[in-house]
Amino acid sequence: MSLLRILFLILLSGPLFAQNAELANSFFRKGEYEKAIMLYEPLLESNPIRQDYFKSLLTCYQQLEKYEEADRLLNQQLENFPNQIYLYVELGYNRQLQGKPTEAEAYYERSMQFIEQNPSYAFVIGRTFRQNHLLDYALRTYQRGKELNPNLNTEISEAQIYGERGDIDKMFTLYLDLVDKNENYYSTAQRFMGSFVSNDKSDPNNIMLRRQLLKRAQAEPKNSWNILLSWLFMQQGDFDKALVQEKSLYRRNPGTAERIEEIGRLAYDYDDLETSKQAFEFIRSLEQENGLNGDTRLRADIYLLKIENEWIETDDDRERLNAKYLELLAQYGRNLQSLVLQVAYAEFLTYSYDAPDQAIEILRSALELNPPKPERGMLEITIGDIQVFSGEFNQALVMYSKIQYDFKNSPLAQEARFKVARTSYFKGDFTWAQNQLKVLKSSTSQLIANDAMKLSLKISNNFDKDSLNEGLRLFAKTELLEFQRKYETALDTLSLVLDQHKGRAIEDDALLKQGVLLTRLGNYRGAENSWLNLLSTYPESLLIDECLFSLGELYEDHLGEIDKAKEMYERIIFEYPSSIYLVEARKAFRRLRGDDL
């Protein structure tokens, strides 16, 4: 016995046994199979029932092409545990690794004979075939088990194999067959199918699933088909179509309006205001029904007012909307149950009615009601936002820091940290902003992590520690004015950046922002000129894909120049395949091209 082996065996004695198992697993993960074998062999000998030791040791032998040792291990295990019939599959696979297909086939067929005795064995045998990437054998195993016992639910196992083989249409069929058998399986099917569909309605997988669902819904109406169609439409951003399905479901089985409310919220978040309005108006039409509680009605009322706020044009419109908020507050009262309404009204007063002081007064009064901790955090972070809007940076920073302390390691604390960074950026304290952003780049919230990365890049690309960074300071002031809805003043400030810092790194950011502000002010040709200038002056800019997408939307939504819009989207598809705008650009291009989606 080698000295190294003796040393390893000595390590196995006494209280170090558990540590040896951990060390063996470490060697295994690193691919140091010889060392792992020296530990796994005595570990398995001392604990023969440990399947993890056995399987790891078997893999080590096979990775090192020690097939005879693997055979001895398998036969010993089969002798010790004759009921572990899946070992015949492992024996066959070990022969296959040695280039002995005939012997391997004999073991595979032998393993499948056990299914004839007990069809339920199909699961353990099929799983072992699949783990060894023998998908055809695995499929045969499940199908034979199903033939012998039609009550076996092998659909999920078979569907997963078809998914691995790339036969997505067949995979969808099996999942939907399972739902057809028992509607309670729709959430399970939805979970598994979710990894095979995207937010692009023109994705072939989406099209296959949609066709199957529509065909089944027409042939035999079931709630599950409507639910799955609604879910698929929501993945694709087709909120209007999802709403049609959910209305149909509700009329068939009145009850909770949660899914209709979810569609309304998502449609609002994605600027599909018309669908959002229809969803919440439908909810309000149900107010006399027992299934609709007061909280649901209140949230519907709030969203309808928010949607109306998006469409106001005159001071008279604002006054009418203010009156509606006050009427709703009088109806529900200023209490803990109406906190969401009070926050919504405070935001309206700040961002649309130019009364931030009144808004903060309302929120501070709400804090005096001693709300639960999550609601208190919502109120405090809204106060901080309004203080930033009013230019009260220090007060806002104190509020955000308080939230970070009170809600440590929570999503709300991460949001507050980002707002500390953004406020510091607005103030021109770029070093402190970057310190906060470094932490947030690995945030568990993808949205916050993305926002943090974007702001961090903006600062790092334009910050020079040996200069006053006047260009970046002016740009930060521009973005503050944009946040404060002072678009014309923001545009004037931005013109200083473009005049005084022409040819500097900040210019491409400034041109992109200039187009955004001009679009907000309705100067669409001016926005077009800014973005075209960016494309021609800075063709290597990291902002090009965003600029192209903005131009595409401008041509499509405001200028009615469809051919130019298609050109912009097409450039993203072919020139920037890793862009975050790729999926939306592809969808827009195919829509404008007239594809049947």
pLDDT above 90 (res 597): no
Q: What is the pLDDT of residues 125-144, one digit of tens each?
A: 999 999 999 999 999 999 99
Say what the pTM is. 0.78
Q: What is the DSSP string of 440-504?
A: HTT-SSHHHHHHHHHHHHHHHHH--TTS--HHHHHHHHHHHHHHTT-HHHHHHHHHHHHHHSTTS
pLDDT above 80 (res 1): no
Alpha-helix residue ranges (DSSP H) falling in 118-222: 121-131, 135-148, 155-165, 168-181, 186-193, 204-219
Question: Count of alpha carbons within 13 Å of 508, Cβ hemisphere only?
Answer: 18
Residues of the chain with pLDDT > 70: what percent?
94
Q: What is the pLDDT of residues 361-370, one digit of tens each?
A: 999 999 999 9
Average pLDDT over residues 541-560: 95
pLDDT above 70 (res 149): yes
Q: What is the pLDDT of residues 70-116, one digit of tens each?
A: 999 999 999 999 999 999 999 999 999 999 999 999 999 999 999 99
3-state secondary structure of 335: coil
pLDDT above 60 (res 11): no
Cα–Cα distance measured from residue 595 to residue 388, given in angstroms and rounded to the nearest whole number: 46
Query: Tokens 């006053």 label which residue?
Result: 468
Per-residue buried b or exposed e for 59-79, using 16+ beta carbons within 10 Å of the residue's own CB:
ebbbeeebbebbbebbeebbe
pLDDT above 70 (res 48): yes
Question: Count of alpha carbons within 13 Å of 4, Cβ hemisphere only?
Answer: 6
Q: Residue 442 has what pLDDT?
A: 66
Q: What is the pLDDT of residues 474-494, one digit of tens each?
A: 999 999 999 999 999 999 999
pLDDT above 80 (res 259): yes
Cα–Cα distance measured from residue 146 to residue 85, given in angstroms and rounded to the nearest whole number: 19
**Please, are residues 569 and 588 in contact by the beta-carbon 8 Å criterion?**
yes
* Tokens linked to 49: 């029932």
pLDDT band at 10; cut points 50, 70, 90:
very low
**Please, are residues 437 and 456 in contact by the beta-carbon 8 Å criterion?**
yes
3-state secondary structure of 313: coil
* Tokens linked to 297: 């009605």
pLDDT band at 181; cut points 50, 70, 90:
confident
Q: What is the DSSP string of 522-542?
A: T-HHHHHHHHHHHHHH-TT-T
